[in-house]
Amino acid sequence: MIGAADEADPWRPARRIPWRPGIRRRTWVGWLFVAPALVMYGLFVLQPLALTVQYSFYRWDGVGPATWVGLNNYVAVLSEPRLVETLFNAFRLVLFFSFIPVALGLVTASVIQRVATGRLATISRTILFLPQVIPLVAAGIIWGRLLSLSGLINQALTAVGLGDITEAWLGDFDTALPAVGLIGIWVLLGFCTVLLLTGMTKIDPSYYESARLDGAGWFQEFRAITLPSLRNEIGVCITVTVIAALAAFDIVYVTTGGGPGGATAVPGIQIYIVAFLERQVGLASALAVVLMVLVLVVILPIQRLSRGSDL
Amino acid sequence: MRVARRELYAGRALLIALVAITVLPFLSIFTTALYPSGAVPTGLSWPADPQWGNFVEAFKIANMGPLLASSVFIVLAVVPVSLAISTMAGFAIGLLRIPGARFLLLLFIFGLTLPFEGIITPLYFLARQMGILNTRFAIVLPLIGLFMPFAVFWMRAHFVNMPSEISEAARVDGATTWDLFWKIHVPLARAPMASLGILMSVWAWNQFLLALVLVEDPSQRTMAGGLGAFQGHYATDIPLLSAGTILILLPTLMVFILFQRQVITALLQGSVKG
């Protein structure tokens, strides 16, 4: 490698085809370009990733000696109700964080695309995007307020004559998870709508013209033209929102902390509690591995379906 | 596209309703922040005697000065470094096509779906071992690493689409690999670099989990991390908590309003590419 670099004048390619000469030298230089990024990624992502897998086979309190326990931690993750329940909760959140924003986003975007032009479109796009840029912690605090006994939700319910059903939505065992889900909808709906809307503007308007000549209504147009053309964007929306649901942490931490009675305990929260409050590092790591595998298993087929085979 | 009048109105009504649902929570937290400290105000109502002083009070007790400085430090430490090294890596993988480029790309892509919670436990012990636990570097260094999958992927997507004639012409003129990178391709990559920079700044500013676990002192954290601690202490004083929340939102909101086109475009493209 060094020999190639020393040959003649390394600064000047010898022949017309620029990529052939000195290719070994350039290989070496090319890897130098990748090295810093690779080192940071290796040190602070791949290394801890390997450590998570390693920890997951031990019982360790983070201070004393660790004991090899084989697959016991995994058995616990998949059998202890309080841990299994977090996995179910993660999938329940998918309904709110992913399914509803994508479905609602599709409808809204297709409506907006037909009616909103100019000023109104720009302003509404900006506003709908707001929840996406604020810290999730802030979104959680704001909604913790809205969903409280004296909050805006109950105020609105009372105003329309539904005063009987008001309650502390985040504090009730049955309503806490849907309430957290509602926050997710608020954060993600605008994002999905704007993303889908961008996709829709790329659809050739002549498709719609001819569909309308054939007497197609909104729904037929939507099903026959809009939906198939947006395969890619829908895939992206589902991917982003599913990851947001399965890996939810910030919102849950500030609103319920996983409570009441574990009703909103999701894997992210449970990893934090088990690792740093209960000091069962091995068990928390096993849960972390399960979570990471789960995300991959859910995301890969979605990517395949929406993108075809390119990567 | 011609649309019936009735549909036009129905659509606009839906749009306005959606905008209202997005904005109302902000309004509610704002009016709440104006009530006397310790009060329990109803959702959306204007206080009889607005306490603008709550913002000053929240600024003081949330230790907002040092917290702001800390967040700015973290963003300034994370973003330029991440931007520089990911651009270099994206250049090597996407444009130089070094041997192993495909493997490297897959290695970085692998990190794209990784939830932070998956590696937070070992990060804690690593930071302790490195002696950076409870310092800002415990946030800065891991965050650079965690940004790499997305950042490299993003920059590679730009470089892979650059026509090869540009590089070939430069090579014929005798440019070194570094010249090719620094004099020709970095200036051409300004737009994607700017978007990436904005995205990473927002993400670093809003980073919560790393701050929560790796730094105990709230004034050494990111803004979001500081807000978490503030909430822990003042959960019962609703108006003050609301005022603090607004103060912590303000910088993000201002950046968003100033750069809204870039931020929206970047976030959308970011997710499409990611």
With vertex at residue A147, the alpha carbon angle to CA B20 and CA B14, rounded to the nearest 5 degrees, is 20
pLDDT digits (tens, 9 = 90+) for B101-113: 889 999 998 888 8
Higher pLDDT, A72 or A150: A72
Q: What is the pLDDT of residues A219-237, one digit of tens each?
A: 888 888 888 888 888 888 8
Quote the pLDDT of residue A235.
87
Do the chains contact at B145 and A145, CB–CB below 8 Å?
A: no
B119 shares contact with chain A (CB less than 8 Å): yes
| Chain B residue at shortest CA distance from A235 | B272
Point out the residue among A40, A129, A208 whose CB comes nearest to the CB of B144: A40
Q: Which residue of B has its CA nearest to A186?
A: B22
What's the pLDDT tens digit per position in B97-155? 888 888 999 999 888 888 999 999 999 999 999 998 888 999 999 999 999 999 998 89
Tell me which residue of A73, A242, A194 sits closest to B15, measured CA to CA.
Answer: A194
Give me the mean pLDDT over the A88-99 stretch: 92
**Contact residues for B89 (Cβ-Cβ < 8 A; gap 6+):** A33, A34, A36, A37, A38, B104, B108, B148, B152, B155, B156
Query: In angstroms, rounded to a whole number, what is the distance separating the alpha carbons of residues B122 and A52?
Result: 6
What's B36's DSSP letter? P
When the pLDDT of each residue in chain B is averaged and rounded to a whole number, the result is 85
Q: For A285-305, how does the pLDDT look when each residue is reduced to its tens digit (9 = 90+)?
A: 999 999 999 999 998 888 877
Q: Which of B51, B24, B107 is nearest to B238 (CA)?
A: B51
- Cα of A83 to nearest chain B Cα, Å: 15
* Preceding peptide of A260 cis, ω within 30°: yes
Inter-chain residue contact A48 with B123, CB threshold 8 Å: yes
pLDDT at B176: 84
Q: A81-307, superfamily in CATH?
A: MetI-like (1.10.3720.10)
Query: Which residues between 13 and 42 in chain B have a beta carbon less than 8 angstroms from any beta carbon of chain A?
Result: 14-15, 18-19, 21-26, 28-29, 32, 40-42
- A271 vs chain B: nearest CA distance in angstroms? 7
| Domain residue limits, chain A | 2-55, 81-307
CA distances from A243 to A161, A240, A257 (A): 38, 5, 19
Which residues in chain A touch residue B172, judged by CB atoms under 8 angstroms apart? 13, 16, 18
Give pLDDT, residue A12.
43
Asked if B253's CB is within 8 angstroms of A130's CB, the reply is yes
Query: Contacts of residue A191 in chain B, CB cutoff 8 Å?
Result: 267, 271
Q: In chain B, what percentage of residues exceed pLDDT 70? A: 97
A271 and B44 in contact by Cβ < 8 A? no
- The domains of chain B, with CATH numbers, are 5-56 (no CATH), 64-273 (1.10.3720.10)
Task: Kindly state the average pLDDT of the residues B72-93.
Answer: 94
- CA distances for B139 relative to A227, A279, B41, B70, B185, angstroms: 42, 21, 37, 11, 31
User: Residue A117 pLDDT > 90, yes or no?
Assistant: no
Please give the pLDDT value at position B98: 84
User: What pLDDT sits at residue A1?
Assistant: 33
Checking ipTM against 0.85, whether it exceeds it is yes
Of A43, A208, A291, nearest to B145 by CB-CB distance is A43
pTM assigned to the model: 0.85
Q: What is the pLDDT of residues B164-190, one digit of tens each?
A: 888 888 888 888 888 888 888 889 988
CB contact under 8 A, A246 and B115: yes
Average pLDDT over residues A129-139: 88
On the question of pLDDT at A213 being above 70, the answer is yes
Q: Which residue has the higher pLDDT, B179 or B236?
A: B179
Q: Tokens for A15?
A: 């022949």
Contact A37 B149 (CB under 8 A): no
Q: What is the dihedral of CA A105, A173, B232, B210, to 10 degrees?
A: -50
- Asked if A13 lies within 8 A of B22 by C-beta distance, the reply is no
Instruction: Classify residue A14 as exposed, middle or buried by CB count within 10 Å of its CB (0-12, 13-18, 19+).
Output: exposed
Residue of chain B minimizing CA distance to A104: B18
Of A33, A42, A126, the CB nearest to B92: A33
> Can you tell me the distance from the alpha carbon of A138 to that of B249, in angstroms, rounded to the nearest whole number?
7
Q: Using CA coordinates, name the residue in chain A closest to B176.
A: A11
| Residue among A49, A135, A186 minimizing CB distance to B224 | A135
pLDDT of residue B125: 92
- Can you name the residues that pair with B9 across neighbouring β-strands? none
State whether residue B172 sits within 8 Å of chain A by CB.
Answer: yes
Per-residue pLDDT at A17 exceeds 70 = no
pLDDT value for A201: 81
Chain A residues in contact with B206 by the CB 8 A cut-off are 134-137
How far is CA A83 from each of CA A72, A289, B124, rounded to the nearest angstrom? Answer: 14, 13, 22
Say if the Cβ atoms of B224 and A250 lie within 8 Å: yes
Residues of A in contact with B26 (CB under 8 A): 130, 142
Phi and psi at B92, nearest 5°, equal -70, -40
- Which residues on A lie below 8 Å from B113 (Cβ)? 243, 295-296, 299
